[in-house]
Structure 1
Amino acid sequence: MSIAKYHRRLAHSIELDEPLLELLVPVERWLDTLAVRNHSEHTLSAYFAGVSQLALYLRGKKLTWTRCDKRQLAQHISQRLDEDKLALASVQQELSAIRHFYGWLIEEGLARINPATGYQLKRSPRPLPSIADIDLLTQLLDQPIPDTPEQARLWLRDKAMFELLYSSGLRVGELVALDMMDIDLTDLRVRVTGKGNKTRLVPIGEKAATAIKRYLPHRHLWVEQQDNALFISEKLGTRLSTRAVQQRLKVAAARAGIAQNMYPHLLRHCFASHLLSGSGDLRAVQEMLGHSDIGTTQIYTHVDFAKLTQVYDRAHPRAIHIQNEAE
């Protein structure tokens, strides 16, 4: 394996002098080990990019891997953020690569301390997802069927898609990836392949199941080339794209007289927020959303609390008086 294989631009942009080459020798060995463990080319390239940046910093300071402590690492990370203007998420990826690399150095007896252990970057506050209220979703999903036969057929398919997005909290990519065999309209569940090729079973609501049943006769007429996709393009007879779903949702929202920006992920947000508000079962919602980290699901508890605060401010007899006194 050569350095150029993973980061060709490195050799073109900087001088590969002896100190830097010495720093990169264990990096190459580490990546060789990961390659044997079947890590993807993309992962190896990202790891090399992150660790090589620290190697450049250490070369400039005339330091080795074992002379890099938490203070040195903090200076490097600060430089990446402040001088190189890297996004926080990109620096997080580099820090993860460095942490893994030092873990390997320790395993090989080439280092005793991992300077990245316990090192945390302050995350930017994650914006709360937009949520549409139930009345607005009813306005979208229960709108009258279009008058023209062509638009009526398309609406039967679109309604099935939107009902399923809201009913089961699917990502739009998961929706368009569904095959016929993934839907069980008898036991009312759908098998979803999510991030990392992880599969999960999610319940389907009665309204979504009914909408899918009404759509299926049209699907059987449209499908070509024995495509197994659940949702089919009427014109092409093949699997719908995510872009097509996004466009059809905007068309449906406009036809229903909805001014709010509607997009497929909004229906997933609504699924999570409404289900959590009604059940309070965070673990169940996490499972249905396919979140590997419950912290990702917990954002919907903040959404719900924000709604509770609005209700409190409007309804509590002392809320307004306290505010006025403060003024």
Structure 2
Amino acid sequence: MQYLESFYNYLQYERRNSSHTIVAYKNDLRQFCEFLEQENIELWVNVTSKVIRSWMVQLVNEGVSPRTVTRKISTLKVLFKFLMLEDVVDSNVAKHVITPKIPKKLPAFVKETEMDFLLDSIEFGQDFTGLRDKLIIEIFYHTGMRLSELVGLMDCQIDAGNDVFKIYGKRSKERIVPIIKELKVSLVRYLNERDKLFPEKRNPYLLITEKGLPVYHKLVYRVVNSYLGQVSTVVKKSPHVIRHTFATALLNRGADLNAIKELLGHSNLAATEIYTHNTFEKLNSIYKQAHPRAEKMEDYI
């Protein structure tokens, strides 16, 4: 089909898309052009919304995921916008094509019983490394911190008098998160051991390595992955999963959604509302198990 090379130059030099993005566009358009060839369509001006919808149906029938289909239609929208600029077509026929609904991916979380077992029954050790690793898990679980926030956490962000952390999140936005008694005990134990090993500690960071340097992302990720692997079958065993676990546990126990939003440092409520889906699933499961008529009603649904 004509104009494709000009389109790729447009992507590279005017839109300044990455080479990876351009390769993805080329693959999408190669597939679309193969479909047009099957339909005996040789000119862009002969492509209609109906033609694009037919291609979309074919992709779905072939088992292509809704997310991928949506991306391919987005490619066509960019292409037809370019063709309009070049006066090749009069309208963007891809613009009004309704794409498949992409199912929401619920945040993974660890069960409360599994977190309890991890913190109460798994042996971390009483040496510096053990105390630090347990503190890492507890900070994530008791505060909902992001990985970057924990790695960047400094001694000066601990307000011991008020038992709170002052956390600096995205765009340096400050928020206050309480330090509960259990976390405070672990924090004091760790600080005592750290200060014995490094009496002249000079860097300002709370969590450090065995060499006295600040902890780094990969180290923290490995710690979390290792310990979650001992108690949970959740596929992704990352710090962010514990953040999800923190939010889900609070919501399940009746915490106000706006309060959770503030604790997590979300800029808007929509980002926090995703956790209500997990809570709904739990409530739905409890309802079906507990309500005397629920099992009977399922026969009619």
Is the pair's TM-score, using the shorter chain for normalization, greater than 0.5? yes
- Return the letter of the residue paired with 2:237: Y
Percent identical: 22
> What is the CA distance between 1:206 and its match in structure 2?
0.4
Task: Name the structure with the higher helix share.
Answer: 1
**TM-score (norm. length: structure 2):** 0.69
- For residues 256-307 of structure 1, the C-alpha deviation after alignment (integer angstroms, 9 at most, x for no partner) is xx4655833432222222333433426963993758893x654422221222
For the residue of structure 2 that corresponds to 1:122, the secondary structure is: coil
2:14 paired residue among 29, 33, 37 = 33
Q: Which residue of 1 is the match for residue 249 of structure 2?
A: 274
Inter-partner Cα distance in structure 2 for 1:293 and 1:159: 31
Shift in Å at residue 64 of structure 1? Answer: 2.9
Corresponding residue SS for 1:188: strand
For the 8 Å contact 1:166–1:270, the answer to whether it is kept is yes
Query: Who is 2:152 aligned against?
Result: 179
Alignment of 1:153-192 (within 5 A): 153-170=128-145, 174=148, 178-180=151-153, 184-186=157-159, 188-192=165-169
Instruction: Return the offset for 1:34.
Output: 0.5
TM-score by length of 1: 0.65
Which sections of structure 2, spanning at least 5 residues, go unmatched? none
Higher relative contact order (CA 8 A, sep 6+): 2
1:67 maps to which of 46, 65, 85: 46
Gaps of 5+ in 1: 1-19
* Cα deviations by residue, 1:226-271 (Å, 9 ceiling, x for unpaired): 98876544379562516513443236xx4xxx46558334322222
Q: Which residue of 1 aligns with 2:293?
A: 319
Q: Is the 8 A contact 1:153 1:218 kept in 2?
A: yes
Tell me which amino acid in the other structure corresponds to 1:184: Q
- The alignment's C-alpha RMSD in Å is 4.3
The answer for the alignment partner of 1:7 in structure 2 is none
Identify the match of residue 237 of structure 2 among 263, 271, 275: 263
Alignment-derived partner of residue 80 in structure 2: 102
Given that residues 81 and 88 in structure 1 are in contact (C-alpha distance below 8 angstroms), is that contact kept between their aligned partners in structure 2? yes
| Gap change, CA 1:259 and 1:274, over 3 Å in 2 | closer
Task: Look up the match of 1:309.
Answer: 284
Match of 1:117 in 2: 95
Distance 2:223 2:177 in 1: 19
Work out the number of aligned pairs and report it: 284
Q: Is the 8 A contact 2:149 2:168 kept in 1?
A: no
Which of 237, 244, 259 matches 2:222? 244
- Asked if structure 2 preserves the Cα contact closer than 8 Å seen for 1:182 and 1:191, the reply is no
The offset of 1:69, in angstroms, is: 1.5
What residue identity is the alignment partner of 2:141? Answer: Y
| Deviation of the 1:68 alpha carbon | 1.8
Structure 1 Cα separation of the partners of residues 290 and 75 of structure 2: 51
